[in-house]
Amino acid sequence: MLKQLEAVAAEGETAVLRELTYAQAVREALQLAMTRDEKVFMLGEDIGVYGGAFGVTDGLYEQFGPERVRDTPISEAVIAGAAVGAAMTGMRPVAEIQFMDFITLSMEQLVLQGAKIRFMFGGKATVPLVLRTPAGSGTGAAAQHSESLEAWFVHVPGLKVVMPSTPYDAKGLLLAAIEDDNPVIFVEHKLLYRTKGHVPEGYYTVPLSQSEVKREGRDLTVVATSIMVPRALEAAELLAKEGIELEVVDPRTLKPYDAGTVTQSVIKTGKALVVHEAPKTGGFGGEVVAEIVSGAAFDYLEAPVRRLAGLDVPIPYNRELERTAVPQTEDIVREARALVQGAY
């Protein structure tokens, strides 16, 4: 992040270090984008007067009014369809699906329409929309409000998929997503909303194509997404006391995916652990592993690449069962230690 802040300063933007929560960083990005471009508007359930289910859009209705912060009926199909139509006709909508689970109800508009229109029209039509959606477990919201479905959209040509893990990335990636002329699925983990981090003032973007090394290490590369990034960093601090140094890499954008940064890290460490919350079967981690073992890093591997992911079960309501269903810090510590010590 410090390298990015230096780049921001070099470009003449304000690079004042101050601390914001993840939710505040997302709100600031929305505010800046709407102030900068009158074509940017928001739509979704309870995003206006109520300020959003997680308070992310609080205050924007009062600032920009009901025409640009539009409360919608409880219909995800309508939200996605309206966003696709508005984007095709020159607007830059930022839609919100209140829980990622209910993105299932908008699949026809997103997958059959929004993702394919630019291709089918030979680039003469664009669909510059962003669909924000809170995802993940950890709030006791049970099986229908706790899913991580990002791999579905990674599989769809024409869609971009973003999963920021820090307030800095959340702001910069959201601004880049709003600028992009393609539909972007922007996944925000619910447990990250209250996390804090340094965020520069002013307008800046983070490219939708660059993984980042969040922590440098020598013994093992941990590729982690979303909430698993802070958990991997916590695991790295614990293992450092044992003399084990983890390198933590955050893809940030799952599609397009920057495999080069991961490859270089694995070449350096010789070992890799891929961690995500979504169920292992069909999860994005399988794609990361495939890139590692089929590319330049293969000849440098000193151990099998391991995956640590959610169980193939619906997320339970019971808090202890919920916790068991997805990787926690102690699970990353256990798997990483075993890999480094040659237990596999």
- Rounded to whole angstroms, how far apart are CA atoms 314 and 148? 11
Q: Which amino acid is residue 54, in one-letter code?
A: F
Q: What does the CA dihedral 143, 144, 146, 152 come to, rounded to 10 degrees?
A: 110
Strand order from edge to edge, sheet including 253-255: 69-71, 40-44, 92-96, 130-135, 184-189, 160-162, 253-255
* Partners of 133 in the β-ladder: 187
CA-wise closest residue to 332 among 294, 299, 285:
285
In the three-class reduction of DSSP (H, G, I as helix; E, B as strand; rest coil), residue 43 is classed as strand
Sorted by sequence, the CB contacts under 8 Å of residue 204 that are 6+ apart come out as 4, 8, 13, 171, 172, 175
Other residues' Cβ atoms within 10 Å of the Cβ of residue 13? 15
DSSP label at 315? P
* Partners of 100 in the β-ladder: none
- Residue indicated by tokens 């293969």: 298
145 is catalytic: yes
Phi, psi at residue 154, to the nearest 5°? Answer: -60, -30
Q: How many CA atoms lie within 13 A of 286 on its CB side?
A: 12
- Rounded to whole angstroms, how far apart are CA atoms 187 and 233? 20
- Rounded to whole angstroms, how far apart are CA atoms 123 and 39? 20
Q: Which amino acid is residue 55, in one-letter code?
A: G
- Contact in structure between 7 and 15 (CB atoms under 8 Å): no
Active site residues: 145
